[in-house]
Amino acid sequence: MSPPMIALPSLFSRLLNACLLPLALICAGRLAHADGGCPQVPPAPSAEQVRDGMAHARDRGVLWRLERDGRVSWLYGTVHVGRADWVYPGPTVLAALVDSSTVALELDITDPGVAQALTQLPPGVADQPLSASQRRRLQIQAAAACVPVEQLAPLHPVLQVTSLAASVNRRQGLDPMWAQELILTGISRGMGKPIASLETAATQLAALLPTDPAEAQREVNEGLDQMEDGRASRLLNRLVRDWEIGDLTDLADYAKWCECLLDAADQAALRRLLDERNPALADGIAKLHEQGSVFAAVGAMHMTGPLALPRLMQQRGFVVTPVLPAAATPASTPAKSSAKTAPAPRKPASAR
């Protein structure tokens, strides 16, 4: 799934953990923009193209096997942007999904109420219109990213910048249109699997939006700075590369290379986005596991740090075994379970 250069940890940590807003906009049909060489939604693939895509699909991201009370569930780290050829999940991820009775996401982004709920400010957060200068800067970056700026207007300025940051590399094929949450949701709906939300729109907004108006202004300006000077594009590429190859070591070292945790405010913002949300996410997964096997897909940055989800699941009595990649547990969150590679989940019945 969200997911930080100078003094703005929240902007890009959202791309891998907190911000599902760009996906909600897509589900509402808001990011379609086909002029000026902008990417277009491709036509539905033929049956032959689907077969070929599935035959050549490979696993990406990070996956753990969770076992407790004689039942197996799965924890999958996602990213909230992607590429067109990522629409077909690899065999290990697909098998885990097929074996699960429920799919759990941070938010069910296909719920019609989610996009609307994300426009409602939580208590204590003031509505702050963009200045004329900020509007001009946002318009320029929105045009470059192929995002209709008028669709961002109803949102809080921090969310406008956050949403736009997820789309900075659309022309290069890295697009929220291909986010793992959308792909997993589509597949799960096709399989007839129920989708559960581990959070609410209000919960995410509380983590994303600062209550201090001065801090909000700082985040807006610095986010625009980063898009204008190209840092946003470079960092997004690194974060997505780490996710694609399952490099949790680099993701766990995020604070060392993001140039973002420069003061106490930055550190507090990152704790709000990750550590403070993780216990509730872990509790939600554990509760769903009591009812049946769960495929829980949560932004990959939630799998790092002192309160990483794999560690929290262990504390809740689960045997946690890395599956993708074989050494998926980050050094900052040592596993208590066996270090050997977990056996692959069962293949779908059609592939046995």
Average pLDDT over residues 307-334: 80
3-state secondary structure 31-66: CCCCCCCCCCCCCCCCHHHHHHHHHCCCCCCEEEEE
**Edge-to-edge strand ranges of the sheet holding 294-299:** 195-197, 102-105, 294-299, 71-78, 62-68, 319-324
- Who contacts 140 (Cβ-Cβ below 8 Å, separation ≥6)? none
Kindly report which listed range (91-100, 155-164, 213-222, 254-263) carries the lowest average pLDDT score. Answer: 254-263
Distance CA 69, CA 82 (A): 35
Handedness of CA 6, 107, 112, 170 (dihedral sign): positive
> Tens of pLDDT along 150-196?
989 888 999 999 889 999 999 999 998 889 998 999 999 999 999 99
pLDDT at residue number 14: 39
* Domain ranges, ordered by start, for the chain: 9-32+59-351
Residue 245, pLDDT > 90, answer yes
Which of 334, 309, 316 lies closest to 198, judged by CA?
A: 309
Q: Which amino acid is at 60?
A: R
How much is the average pLDDT of 5-11? 31
